A and B are shown apart, each in its own frame.
Chain A
Amino acid sequence: MDLIRDAIRETFLLLSQGDSEIWSITLRTLIICGCSTIISFGLGASAGFCLAVLPFRGRAVLVTFANTGMGMPPVIAGLLVAILLWRSGPFGGLNLIYTPIAMIISQCVIAIPLVAAITAGAFMSLPESLFLQIRSLGAGRKETLFLLAYEARLGLMVAMMAGFGAVISEVGAAMMVGGNLAGDTRVLTTATVLLVSKGEFGRALAYGIVLLAMVFVVAVILTSVQNLARKRI
C-alpha cells in the first residue's frame, strides 16, 4: 500500500509543480504523433477514397489488405521499418534509425491501413446515387472528391481520431526504431516503460495520467462526433 500511496503523492507533486521533463516529453509526443496523424490521414484517406470510388482490378484484394492492416501489431510495423532503416539496410544511408523521423514512419505504417480502411468504409457507405447525382450536376473529379468528402465527413473524422489513437498509444515500434533516447526520441509511452523497469512508479504514473488525458480528449471528440451523427438520424 505504501508503494501505491507514495506513487500517487509523487504523481501529484510532479504534475502540480510543472515538472519540465514531463512537459518536454509530452510536447515531443504531441509533435511526433501529430505529424504521424497528419501524414497517415493524408495518405490513408486518399487511399481509402481510391479504394471506395475508383473502379480498378484488384480493388477487393486491396480492401482486404487494408482491413488486415487495421490489426497489424505495432512491433511488426517497427520491425519492418527497422530492417529498412538499419545501417546496413536498404535505406541505411539516410541515417534515420533512432530518430523522430523513423518513429513517424513506423507510426504511419501502423495508422495508414487503419485510416484507409475506415475512410473506404465511410465512402462506400454513401449511396451510389449520391455519386451519380454529383456527376450529373456537372462536377469534375476534384469537385466530386470535395463534395463526397463533405458528405463522408463524420467517417473521415472518425478515421483521423482512430489514426491518432493508434499512434499515440503504441510503444513497440517507437521503442524499436526510436531507441527511447532522452531528449530526442523519448515519448510518453517509451518513457513509461523505462520508468517502470527502473521501479520509478510515481513518475511513470504521472506520464500515464498525461497519456490518459490525451486519450480522454480524443474519446471526448469521438463521442461528440458520434452524438452528432446520431442526432442527424
Chain B
Amino acid sequence: MLVSDNALSMSEIVVHRGRQKVLSFDSFNLERGQNVAIIGANGSGKSSFLLAAGLLIPSIQGEISYFGTRISRSNRRDFRRLSSISFQDPVLLDRTVVDNLKIAMDLRDFQKEEINKGAYSWLERLGVGHLAEKKPHELSGGERQRVSLARAFALEPSILMLDEPFNAIDPVDKRSISRDLHDLITESELSSIVVTHDISEAVVLADKVVVLIDGLIHQTGAMRDVFQNPKSVDVAKLIGHTVLRNDEARRSLKIPDSPINSDDMISFPSSAISLKAHSEGQGQIIRYESAVGGVVAIVRLGGVEIPSSISAHEAMSLDFSVGQNVDVVLDYSKLVYLSN
C-alpha cells in the first residue's frame, strides 16, 4: 500500500472553518523521512494546515494523498491511523496517564501484550514513567506535553504531526523536551510536520520550512535557504529579519551602492549587526526587546531604529546599558535585497 516517495501530498487545497477561508495553497509535499516546519504568525492557518493534513477537517477541493494513495471519504479513517497528532494544548483523556496510551494503542488495534509493554516503555523514554498512575490534572504543563508526545510516538506513526509542541512550557522543560523530541525524530526515521510560530523550534526539529501567511504558502525550502534568502517582506519579517527601505538603510548603515531602487527594501537578520561599546559611537542603545531567538538591543542610528542580537548576559553588562553609545558594524554578506 505504501508505494510513493512522498509520505504526504496535498494539492489545490482550500479549507474553510465556519464561513471563513483559512487555508488555500497549490501544493505541499512531505517526503518520507523528511521533517518539515510550518511557520507562521498566530491566525495564519498553521493549525488548520495540520488538521487538514491529519485528515481531521476536509478540504473543499483538491486532493490529499498518503504514500501515493488518494484519500477519499471511504478510506479517510484508515489513513488517519498512519499519523499521530499532538496538539498545542496537550489533550489527555480524564484517565490515568498510562491508560491514555493504552486506549490510544487499543484504538489502533495493537495487540494486548504490545499495549502493556509499549505504553510503559514510551512513558519511560519520555521521562514520565513515574507518572503512569497519575491523572492529567495532577500533571504540570511540561509533564502533560511529555505524556502527549509519548502517546504520539507509542502509536508508531508513519507521519508525526506536532502543533506548537513547546507552547506554554517553561524554558527548562522546553529545552529538555526539545532535546528528547529531536533525538526521537532523528532515530525513528519517520516523517514529521511541526507547526510553530517560534523559529528556534523550527530550527531544532526540521530541515525544511514552509512559510504560511494568511492561509497562503509564501515560501518553501531548506531551512538555511529560507532564513538566508526570504523572498518577500512578509517572510523576512516573519523569520525575524529587520526590513528597512533601501534609502533608509543606506543612510543609517552606510551601505554602499545597492542593486535596487531607493523604494525597494533591504532585509537582514539581527545577527548581521554587531555592537562595540564606544563612547563616541554613532549609535545609541535606546531599549531592549524580547525577540525571536532571544534578546535584541534596539540601537538608534541616523534616525533609524536597528535591532541587534545580543545575549541576555551582555545586555546586563555596563558596556551595553540603555543610553550607551556604540559603534554599529554590519555584516554585508547577510543583506537581502527585496523588490517592493
Contacts and interface: CB of A to CB of B under 8 A. Distances in A.
A184 interface: no
25 contacts: A127-B89, A129-B87, A129-B89, A130-B91, A130-B93, A132-B56, A132-B85, A133-B87, A133-B91, A135-B80, A136-B80, A136-B83, A136-B84, A137-B103, A137-B104, A137-B107, A137-B155, A138-B81, A140-B77, A150-B93, A151-B93, A151-B94, A232-B94, A232-B137, A233-B137
A140 B54 CA distance: 15
A209 interface: no
B94 A138 contact: no
A129 B54 CA distance: 13
A13 to B, nearest CB: 50
A80 B108 CA distance: 49
B94 to A, nearest CB: 6
B108 A138 contact: yes
A176 to B, nearest CB: 43
A214 interface: no
Interface in A110-142: 127, 129-130, 132-140
A143 B81 CA distance: 14
Contacts of B51: 132
B91 A147 contact: no
A135 B54 CA distance: 10
B86 to A, nearest CB: 9
Interface residues of B, number: 21
A133 B151 CA distance: 11
B93 A127 contact: no
Interface in B147-162: 155
The 6 A-B pairs at the shortest CB distance, nearest first, are namely: A133-B91, A138-B81, A136-B85, A137-B104, A138-B107, A137-B107
A154 B256 CA distance: 70
Contacts of B77: 138, 140
B81 A127 contact: no
B108 A127 contact: no
Most chain A CB inside 10 Å of its own CB: which residue of B54, B84, B87, B155? B87
Interface residues of A, number: 18
Contacts of A138: 77, 80-81, 107-108
Contacts of A132: 51, 56, 85, 87, 91
B107 A133 contact: no
B141 to A, nearest CB: 15
Contacts of A233: 137
Interface string A147-161: 100110000000000
Contacts of B56: 132, 135-136
Nearest to B51: A132
Contact of B54 (A130, A134, A136, A232): A136
Contacts of B94: 150-151, 232
Interface in A190-233: 232-233
Given A136-B80, A138-B80, A147 B54 contact: no
Nearest to B109: A138
A163 B94 CA distance: 25
A139 B108 CA distance: 8
A143 B80 contact: no
A147 to B, nearest CB: 7
A140 B78 CA distance: 10
Nearest to A151: B94
A150 B94 CA distance: 8
A54 to B, nearest CB: 15
Contact of B108 (A129, A137, A147, A150): A137
A143 B93 contact: no
A140 B108 CA distance: 11
A140 B76 CA distance: 11
A149 to B, nearest CB: 12
A45 B88 CA distance: 30
A167 to B, nearest CB: 29
Nearest to B79: A138
B85 A133 contact: yes
A139 B56 CA distance: 12
B136 to A, nearest CB: 10
A151 to B, nearest CB: 6
